[in-house]
């Protein structure tokens, strides 16, 4: 266990020049800064050093206002070129609020969550825009227990940024900022300890590391466990993070699994909090399949409370019905791992996640963890003694599902798309046509300027038809 930090001796109460300056100058947007996963946007525009400094200061105020002992704030980052700038500015804001900062550098988002909880930190911060392109970046916070910072605390930080809050903690010492990269080893060790089997000998595995946060840890861990590893996009490269690779671009990984005759393939996103798998036939094993297979294993071991899985509105209907057919319960939430997390706590579930590869297992962590998920799926395959393709073939049959992203630059139109009567009429027509044979889901992305249109039905022709009709309606009336 890492010892708690020693708070520096108090000196003269620091002043905070520039705090609130962005609001005073009218440089903050009228729309909320905090979205579904912290603050995210183009680096160098709104998301610049000035904003990060003020965010750090106000976060320091809010994080200290907790009934927990004073500890450090853990900061981690992905490989984006702007991550150093934002991490440094954020640390300056936190230390100006009197807090100690432990900067672990390049690491997966779940590493920050784990270390925040294990070191008894006040909170954690990850500098990353997850699966977004290189020019984007983001700031996401974790509370002292390693879960995403709640909306009330985020609202208080934003109120301070907008000049609607007053510093409540005066006379504090300047905080300290230190680099603590060795702590990442504690996270890696915890992943190994969580595995039911730690011998991957005989397995050949391809890893697509997306030029991102998992480039150091993932190959090392799989090799340490005995696997033969072929690593793709395995350097920290801020110019290429997520570009035509990783969990949202699986073609290169699929080709490599075939080329090398691999047993498994895994693709992480830029901050490695999600993963998509590829079986030995180069078929995609998404979050629905992972939840089903891992859930079956936990159910057989009586480690799945109420045989309950938590998914989202994006989960495939074939998955849900197959899980219920074997006596399982299934609960859907809105899209976003924070909604899955909230439902898991509320309903006492141990396993939940998203089709996109965010998987949360409360037996081991309180954060979506792509590396942990990949390791456990590999252990499951090793224990079963059959291929991932065979496990998939004996799981469930997916309903045809098509997702179309329509770019809508106007944030106001994205937020109020439900008020568009023309789009609502087309949605009603599609739902009436499909009946109980399918589902329609239209939603605004919380992280990108997109309206997402998803159609799922027993007949592929109906899926294709209504996806095109709905996407065209969104384009004509919103984009």
- For residue 353, what are the CA distances in angstroms to 31, 275, 280, 291, 321? 29, 11, 23, 7, 17
Helix, strand, coil content of the chain in percent (nearest 5): 40, 20, 40
Strand partners, 454: 403, 441
Cα–Cα distance for residue pair 154/157, rounded to 1 Å = 5
Whether 113 is a known active-site residue: answer: no
Write down the H helix ranges in 138-239.
151-161, 184-193, 217-224
Catalytic pick from 92, 128, 130, 247? 130
Chain centroid to Cα 197, Å, comes to 26
427 near 440, Cβ under 8 Å?
Answer: yes
What is the full DSSP assignment across 423-459? HHHHHHHHHHHHGGGEEEEEEE-SSSSEEEEEEEESS
Alpha helices in 352-420 (DSSP H): 370-384, 388-393, 411-415
State the sign of the Cα–Cα–Cα–Cα dihedral 253, 113, 190, 287: negative
Query: 10 Å Cβ neighbour count for 190?
Result: 17
Nearest-10 crossing angle of helices 49-64, 151-161: 130
DSSP 146: S
**Cβ 283 vs Cβ 392: under 8 Å:** yes
Catalytic residue positions, numbered = 130
């Amino acid at each position: 266990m890492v010892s708690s930090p020693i708070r520096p001796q108090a000196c003269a109460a620091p002043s905070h020049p520039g705090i609130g300056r962005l609001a005073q100058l009218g440089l903050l947007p009228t729309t909320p800064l905090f979205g579904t996963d912290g603050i995210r946007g183009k680096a160098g525009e709104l998301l610049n050093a000035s904003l990060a400094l003020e965010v750090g200061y106000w976060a320091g105020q809010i994080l200290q206002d907790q009934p927990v002992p004073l500890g450090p704030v853990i900061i981690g980052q992905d490989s984006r070129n702007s991550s150093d700038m934002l991490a440094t500015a954020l640390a300056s804001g936190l230390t100006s609020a009197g807090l100690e900062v432990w900067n672990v550098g390049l690491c997966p988002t779940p590493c920050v969550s784990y270390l925040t909880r294990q070191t008894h930190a006040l909170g954690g911060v990850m500098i990353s825009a997850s699966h977004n392109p290189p020019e984007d970046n983001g700031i996401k916070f974790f509370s002292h227990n390693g879960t995403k910072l709640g909306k009330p605390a985020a609202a208080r930080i934003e109120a301070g940024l907008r000049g609607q809050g007053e510093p409540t903690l005066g006379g504090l010492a300047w905080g300290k900022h230190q680099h603590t990269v060795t702590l990442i080893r504690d996270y890696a060790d915890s992943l190994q300890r969580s595995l039911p089997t730690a011998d991957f000998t005989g397995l050949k595995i391809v890893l697509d590391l997306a030029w991102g946060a998992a480039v150091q840890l993932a190959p090392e861990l799989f090799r340490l466990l005995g696997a033969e590893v072929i690593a793709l996009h395995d350097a920290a490269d801020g110019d290429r993070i997520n570009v035509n690779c990783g969990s949202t671009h699986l073609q290169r990984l699929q080709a490599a699994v075939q080329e090398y005759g691999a047993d498994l393939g895994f693709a992480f996103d830029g901050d490695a909090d999600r993963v998509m798998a590829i079986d030995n036939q180069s078929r995609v094993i998404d979050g629905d399949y992972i939840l089903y297979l891992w859930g079956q294993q936990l159910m057989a071991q009586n480690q799945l409370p109420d045989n309950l899985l938590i998914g989202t509105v994006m989960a495939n209907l074939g998955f849900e019905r197959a899980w219920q057919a074997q006596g399982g319960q299934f609960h859907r939430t809105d899209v976003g791992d924070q909604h899955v997390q909230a439902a898991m706590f509320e309903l006492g579930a141990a396993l939940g996640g998203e089709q996109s590869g965010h998987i949360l297992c409360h037996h081991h962590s309180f954060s979506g963890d792509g590396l942990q998920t990949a390791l456990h799926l590999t252990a499951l395959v090793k224990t079963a003694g059959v291929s991932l393709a065979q496990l998939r073939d004996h799981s469930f049959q997916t309903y045809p599902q098509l997702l179309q992203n329509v770019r809508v630059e106007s944030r106001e139109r994205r937020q109020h798309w439900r008020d568009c009567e023309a789009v609502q009429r087309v949605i009603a027509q599609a739902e009436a046509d499909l009946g109980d044979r399918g589902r329609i889901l239209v939603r605004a992305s919380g992280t990108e300027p997109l309206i997402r249109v998803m159609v799922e039905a027993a007949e592929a022709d109906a899926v294709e038809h209504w996806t095109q009709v709905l996407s065209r309606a969104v384009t004509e009336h919103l984009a």
